Amino acid sequence: MRTTDTIKVVANAKINLYLDVVGKRQDGYHNLETIFHSIGLHDELILNKQVKKGISVICTHPDVPTDKRNLAYLAAQSLYDEVGGFGGIEIYINKSIPVAAGLAGGSANAAATLVGVNELFDLGIDDEVIRHIGRELGADVPFCLHGGAAFGSGIGDILEPLSPLTDISVVLINSGVQITTKSVFDKLHIPLTRRENNSIIVKSYFETGDLFGIAGNLYNLLEIPVFSNYPKLSELKNEVSKQEGCLGVLMSGSGATLFALMEDKSAAQQCETYFKKRVNYCSITQTSSVGVYIAN
């Protein structure tokens, strides 16, 4: 039983090493085949119990709404409704994950809030119910709760665990373009011929821990609509691929962050130095085996 009035939760971002869209659903969502991987880049959420009832959100990033549009707010609200109330809460989000960037920042915040509020108020809600509530909040929330590496099907919420890559250096490069997931899917033409077997091949590289196999088969169908709107991103990807020690580069999720899997830390540092002056955002992180976790 937790006796403190505050809790700190770390919310790791994710990248997609593989993403194919396999069909459109009646409910407007798309069925995907994707391989998620957690990365060490994270937001920190400090959850503070309040005497006054209600939910409030503070975020260090000016573009992130702090009202009911915030996924962390909605996550706390969902738990509140589930148990019929738990007093007041303030959610302080220290944002490091770029916003609307394909790195699931909002979903990670929602997952962290679900885990943190459950623990802070000792609600005793089991993992299955937390997962179910998470799925209602967003397609990436179940993976953020799961963490590590996983193959996702359905809307990305049916997860099959994969062995995570251990501490592989990753360079994240974002040119500053913010893209909404909806706008990308609206523009997407799903190819009539399926890329049969490709997700199976990439999954098999995970089974054998073959980093070169994984890096050589990175794929994201959503690059097609995004690059056609932003041709400069395609040029940027090409430039990243030429960096020494770059094993593979891909756009994450619906974009527009590019991630590069690097041979080692020193190659990652060289790549970061090169792009830091040229793009809006560039940072080094590494693959992680966890999604969200309580830090105190």
Binding site for ligand ATP (CB under 6 A): 64-65, 69-72, 93, 99-107, 109, 140, 181, 253-254
Q: Which is nearer to ligand ATP, 72 or 271 (CB)?
A: 72
Q: Which is nearer to ligand ATP, 140 or 272 (CB)?
A: 140
Least separation in angstroms between residue 178's CB and ligand ATP is 7
Active-site annotation holds for 14 = yes
Measured distance CA(48)–CA(66) in Å, rounded: 16
C-alpha torsion 294→291→205→201, nearest 10: 150
| C-alpha dihedral sign at 243, 238, 240, 166 | negative
Q: Which is nearer to ligand ATP, 240 or 251 (CB)?
A: 251
Catalytic pick among 14, 20, 43, 157: 14
Active-site annotation holds for 140 = yes
DSSP state of 98: P
Least separation in angstroms between residue 208's CB and ligand ATP is 28
Pairing of strands 88-94, 54-59: parallel
Both tokens of residue 107? 């979903």
DSSP state of 151: E
Amino acid type, 265? K
31 backbone dihedrals φ, ψ, rounded to 5°: -85, 135
Catalytic pick among 20, 43, 95, 140: 140
Q: CA dist 210 to 65, 202, 205, 294, Å? A: 41, 9, 5, 31
Least separation in angstroms between residue 64's CB and ligand ATP is 5
Least separation in angstroms between residue 38's CB and ligand ATP is 13
Q: Which is nearer to ligand ATP, 93 or 246 (CB)?
A: 93
Residue nearest to ligand ATP (CB): 106
240 backbone dihedrals φ, ψ, rounded to 5°: -65, -40
Active centre residues (catalytic) = 14, 140
